[in-house]
A and B are shown apart, each in its own frame.
Chain A
Amino acid sequence: MDNEGMRSPLGRALGLGSARTGVEQWWRERVSALALVPLTVWFAASLMVHTGSDYATFIAWLRTPIVSILMVLLLAGIFYHTALGLQVVIEDYFHSGLKTLALLGMRFGCCGLAVAGILATLRIAFGR
């Protein structure tokens, strides 16, 4: 379908409407949501099982290879999905120059938290 042909002359003149990149973000949000369904359910169930566990038991569990792998995937998935979701929220409610600032802060925050969480997991996994 010819994208330019679908736009109104006014919309084209003002540079409004789809620039063919909106669908991509929509898909990324859905794909990450689908990945997070089993990952978050696994994590919630694991936390329930470990309610009464002491530090040593909890660390021993986190150090098992499959748990470390799932934990890194969970953290990457959570902050990827969070960044995409919060982007939509910010774009909906911020209309001034604050929008760019909020988007930047949110993305930097998500990246920083993802790295901190993954690094903590790896420190536990590869620690003594």
Chain B
Amino acid sequence: MTNSTPKRLRPLSPNIQIYRPQLTSVLSIANRISGIVLSLYAILLVVWLVAAAAGPHAYSTAQVIIRSWAGQILLFGCTFSFFLHLCGSIRHLIWDAGYGFELRTIYASGWTVVLVSSALTLLSWIISMVLAG
């Protein structure tokens, strides 16, 4: 049990509030937050599939909700969370493979994640709108 460890005053490393937010730290927590957000959207994905399996009536109700203002805002949040988590995770997988640890590369890949995920979010919405007519 860790509770039985005698309490001693030891120097603590600086806490998170003390540091100025940097691209590296912001993207690190953004990947975690977008992952948590996406797990909530995964619930909606299942609800949507179950509605589709239930029949045309339940499915059209789901589509009405998705096409409402609130639904569209939620869907936009889902799109951005998805592309942010996708790009961020690819960056992490490259690190896990042992590449890209130089400070310059870390900042370059970080800004790439920000730009590419924003661009893909906007692009996917533009394509959807064009295809939907």
The interface of chain A, by Cβ under 8 A from chain B, is 14, 16, 30, 33-34, 37, 40-41, 44, 47-49, 51-52, 55, 58-59, 62, 75, 78-79, 82, 85-86, 89, 113, 116-117, 119-121, 123-124, 127
Q: Which residues of B contact A116 (CB under 8 A)?
A: 46, 49-50
Interchain CB contact (< 8 A) of B2 among A16, A41, A62? A16
Please classify the interface of chain B as helix (H, G, I), strand (E, B), loop, or mixed, using the class held by over half of its residues: helix
Q: Are A89 and B32 in contact (CB under 8 A)?
A: yes
Give the chain B neighbours of A62 by CB distance below 8 A: 52
Q: Interface residues of A: mostly helix, strand, loop or mixed?
A: helix
Alpha-carbon gap, A119 to B131, bound state (A): 30
Verify if B60 is at the interface (C-beta below 8 Å from A): yes
Q: How far is the CA of A116 from the CA of B96 in the complex (A)?
A: 33
Complex contacts, A78 vs chain B, CB 8 Å? 42, 45
Q: CB within 8 Å of A: which residues of B?
A: 2, 5, 32, 35-36, 38-39, 42-43, 45-46, 49-50, 52-53, 56, 59-60, 79, 82, 86, 89-90, 92-93, 96, 124, 127-129, 131-133
Chain B residues with CB under 8 A of A58: 52, 59
- Whole-angstrom CA separation of A119 from B42 in the bound complex: 15
Interface pairs (6), CB distance under 8 Å: A14-B2, A14-B5, A30-B93, A37-B89, A75-B45, A124-B52
Tell me whether A44 and B50 are in contact (CB under 8 A): no
Report the Cα distance A75→B47, complex, angstroms: 12
Least CB distance from B69 to A in Å reads 17
